[in-house]
């Protein structure tokens, strides 16, 4: 089955659309990656999202507008992926949507909201759409995240040692071989917020770590930031922009005097490196397989590698999954599993009562015709 996975993470920089041919062969899921296209959010939509997300507030009218505009933007990315990657022969779209709220209350998650109305995707592509993957796991007592953990486990199964999959997006998360998976805290979210704030919006992130490279880590600010109780919570735990946004950073900065922008960005980069490295060590990793936009920040990866000591840090590309596309491919896999009546969660990761078939389905132009349910869950993901 040819599936398009659509993903935009907490950085809301772009919609990533990855296409893959997926097939169940015995107890393996065989995936042939077909490529990825990335459609940046246009400036108006990105600004509307920035205004609506914490520390901003919003209205239901604005939520409706965002749901529509994001759905249309996801639809455009899906149309492009079908044309350029699938020769117009895609069979299913799996859309993560755009997370706008993750209702976490310490260790408990009560709800999560992803926008990007799937009807627009179904209308533009004519394809059935699987969307809203997270809520079912929450209804089953789980965190609804990190959902990519099941794909990580299938993909890294059998690899010697304790390989840990790490994704550094707006928020950073990891998956360990025993199924332990959680958000470690900020990935790029605070760095992006600071770069945006200090540049008056001219920068949306610290390109190639240029600001951080010119700055010095400010010890007292780092200590204040590390006091955030989230870091000490045991897994399973997940978080989002509700906790890690510009307002929190401003609170931490108050009382630190006036710091140069470069020093603040260097300190935030160290905050991510340190909290990720601590989390990686806590699960006994022997190697780290890294993905996500944060791996493009050389100052961050250098700080992280230093703090990991001898534990090697490898890009996921080395194992066949392009670092920028990994999460979009993961959602293509989750969509495939849903279409085949197979659970998309690992309860050891999300803390749910059991594995669940995820998502809501929107029929395509030809109604909703699904393949017969698969007899058993795959135990590994093989890349072709
Ligand atoms: N060249 C780069 N230099 C520094 N940071 C980068 C670079 N490219 C991407 N990033 C970071 O990666 C983030 C996007 O990563 P991504 O994996 O798409 O995250 P998300 O899943 O949250 O959307 C950007 O917001 C930025 O912080
Ligand atoms: Mg992104």
Please spell the DSSP secondary structure of 128-191, one letter per residue.
-EEE--HHHHHHTTS----THHHHHHHHHTT-SS-EEEEEESSEEEEE-TTS-EEEEEESSHHH
Per-residue pLDDT, averaged over 182-210, amounts to 96
Ligand that comes closest to the CA of residue 10: 1
Distance CA 317, CA 39 (A): 21
Per-residue pLDDT, averaged over 19-27, amounts to 97
Asked if the bond preceding 55 is cis, omega within 30° of 0, the reply is: yes
> Is 14 annotated in some ligand binding site?
yes
The set of protein residues with a Cβ atom below 6 angstroms from ligand 1 is: 8-11, 13, 169-170, 188, 191-192, 205-209, 292-294, 296-297, 327
Beta-bridge partners for 364: 367
Residue intervals of the chain classified under CATH 3.30.420.40 are: 2-145+324-383, 152-319
| pLDDT score of 99 | 97
The protein residues having their C-beta less than 5 angstroms from ligand 2 (an ion) are: 9, 11, 13
Per-residue pLDDT, averaged over 369-384, amounts to 96
| pLDDT score of 255 | 85
Nearest CA owner, ligand 1 atom 11 = 293
Helix axes 261-282, 189-198, angle to 10 degrees: 180
> Is 15 annotated in some ligand binding site?
yes
Beta-bridge partners for 289: 165, 314
Per-residue pLDDT, averaged over 327-346, amounts to 98
Distance CA 151, CA 33 (A): 14
Reported as a single tens digit per residue, the pLDDT across 252-262 is 999 899 999 99
SS3 assignment, position 254: coil
Pocket of ligand 1, candidates 296, 316, 317, 326: which has the most ligand atoms within 8 Å of its Cβ, to mutate?
296
Nearest CA owner, ligand 1 atom 7 = 296
**CA 294 to centroid of ligand 1, rounded, Å:** 5
> Is 13 annotated in some ligand binding site?
yes
Per-residue pLDDT, averaged over 350-376, amounts to 96
CA nearest to 51, candidates 228, 311, 245, 270: 245
Distance CA 319, CA 339 (A): 26
Ligand that comes closest to the CA of residue 293: 1
Give ∠ CA 334-182-350 in degrees, rounded to 5.
55
Distance CA 102, CA 88 (A): 35
DSSP secondary structure code for residue 293 in this structure: G
Query: Who's near 332: CB < 8 A, 6+ residues apart?
Result: 3, 4, 5, 18, 19, 20, 22, 31, 94
Distance CA 346, CA 70 (A): 29
Distance CA 138, CA 110 (A): 7
| pLDDT score of 162 | 98
Helices (H), the chain: 43-52, 60-86, 118-125, 134-139, 148-156, 189-198, 210-214, 219-226, 246-253, 261-282, 298-307, 326-339, 347-350
Superfamily designation of domain 152-319: ATPase, nucleotide binding domain (3.30.420.40)
Superfamily designation of domain 2-145+324-383: ATPase, nucleotide binding domain (3.30.420.40)
Measured on CA atoms in the order 248, 250, 255, 260, is the torsion positive or negative? positive
Pocket of ligand 1, candidates 53, 188, 199, 272: which has the most ligand atoms within 8 Å of its Cβ, to mutate?
188
| pLDDT score of 338 | 98
CA nearest to 335, candidates 150, 133, 140: 133
SS3 assignment, position 192: helix
**CA 330 to centroid of ligand 2, rounded, Å:** 14
What does the mean pLDDT of the chain come to?
97
Reported as a single tens digit per residue, the pLDDT across 65-104 is 999 999 999 999 999 999 999 999 999 999 999 999 999 9
């Amino acid at each position: 089955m040819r599936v398009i996975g659509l993903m935009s993470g907490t950085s809301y920089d772009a919609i990533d659309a990855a296409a893959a041919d997926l097939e169940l062969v015995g107890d393996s899921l065989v995936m042939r990656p077909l490529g990825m296209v990335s459609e940046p959010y246009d400036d108006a939509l990105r600004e509307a999202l920035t205004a609506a997300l914490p520390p901003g507030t919003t209205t239901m009218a604005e939520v409706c507008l965002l749901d529509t505009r994001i759905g249309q933007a996801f639809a455009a990315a899906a149309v492009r992926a079908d044309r350029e990657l699938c020769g117009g022969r895609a069979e299913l779209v799996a859309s993560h949507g755009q997370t706008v709220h993750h209702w976490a209350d310490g260790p408990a998650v009560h709800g999560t909201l992803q926008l990007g109305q799937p009807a627009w995707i179904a209308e533009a592509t004519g394809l059935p759409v699987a969307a809203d993957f997270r809520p079912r796991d929450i209804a089953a007592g789980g965190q609804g995240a990190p959902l990519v953990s099941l794909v990580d486990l299938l993909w890294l199964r059998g690899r010697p040692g304790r390989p840990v999959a790490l994704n550094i997006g707006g928020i950073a998360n990891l998956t360990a071989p025993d199924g332990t998976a959680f958000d470690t805290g900020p990935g790029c979210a605070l760095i992006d917020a600071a770069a945006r704030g200090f540049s008056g919006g001219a920068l949306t992130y610290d390109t190639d770590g240029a600001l951080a490279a010119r700055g010095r880590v400010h010890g007292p600010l780092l200590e204040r930031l590390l006091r955030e109780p989230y870091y000490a919570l045991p897994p399973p735990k997940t978080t989002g922009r509700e906790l890690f946004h510009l307002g929190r950073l401003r609170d931490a900065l108050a009382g630190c005097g006036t710091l140069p922008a470069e020093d603040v960005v260097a300190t935030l980069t160290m905050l991510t490196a340190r909290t990720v490295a601590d989390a990686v060590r806590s699960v006994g990793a022997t190697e780290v397989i890294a993905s996500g936009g944060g791996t493009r920040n050389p100052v961050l990866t250098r700080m992280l590698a230093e703090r990991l000591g001898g534990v090697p840090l490898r890009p996921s590309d080395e194992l066949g999954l392009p670092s920028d596309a990994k999460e979009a491919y993961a959602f293509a896999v989750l969509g495939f599993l849903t279409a085949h009546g197979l659970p998309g969660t690992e309860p050891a990761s999300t803390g749910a009562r059991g594995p669940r078939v995820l998502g809501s389905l929107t029929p395509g132009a030809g109604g909703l015709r699904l393949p017969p349910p698969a007899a058993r869950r795959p135990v590994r993901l093989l890349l072709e």
